[in-house]
Amino acid sequence: MNQTEIFGFVIEILGKLKINYMIVGSVASTVYGKPRLTYDMDILIDLKEKQIENLAGSFNSDWYADAEMVKDAIAKNMPFNFIHTPSALKIDFFPAGSGEYEKAQFLNKVEQEFDEKITAFFSSAEDIIVKKLDYYMEGKSEKHLEDIKGILNVRGEKLNFKYIDYWSEKKGSFKIWEKIKEEKGEK
């Protein structure tokens, strides 16, 4: 299995189990912006306790997918991952919070083509920018700013700037966002 097939396998399972999810992180930012290499897929997931056994049980012996680890992570509202052992590709699952922003993010998710065979739910381009601003504030990694600039280059005027302004103001990243817009001539 190649990377796209592995990621597609996970998306199909989530769909079959009717688990509310959206792809976030680098995979999503490459959909809206500049492609870059990644060895994992980040998924924001609204996983109910009764779905845990079915989710973990849907992965065969090629996967490290431990239901007890998932239960513990969900109880602590912590991320967990499943690993495709032959390829070492990782799926990082992030439990969806119940805050105002998380609710808005799920309302804005977008269904679009993942590959020729399946569609998937993705975080909106605007929410990718908002989260990349958060990640930049946490770790100061330039890759997040590059992802944001890539999305601006590709999506430009199609973006809802008022939405990004609102959430970056609420989350404390507005000055960084303003600087990026100034550099890109979007102010």
| Mean pLDDT, residues 86-96 taken together | 94
**What torsion do the CA atoms of 71, 79, 12, 7 make, to the nearest 10 degrees?**
-140
Full-model pTM: 0.89
- Tell me the C-alpha to C-alpha distance, in Å, between residue 48 and each of 1, 55, 70, 117, 133: 29, 10, 11, 27, 28
Cα–Cα distance between 165 and 167 in angstroms, integer?
6
- CATH 3.30.460 domain extents, the chain: 3-123
Q: What is the mean pLDDT of the chain?
A: 91
Q: Would you say residue 124 has pLDDT above 90?
A: yes
pLDDT at 111: 95
Topology of domain 3-123, per CATH?
A: Beta Polymerase; domain 2 (3.30.460)
Model confidence at 25, pLDDT cuts 50, 70, 90, reads: confident
pLDDT for 97: 84
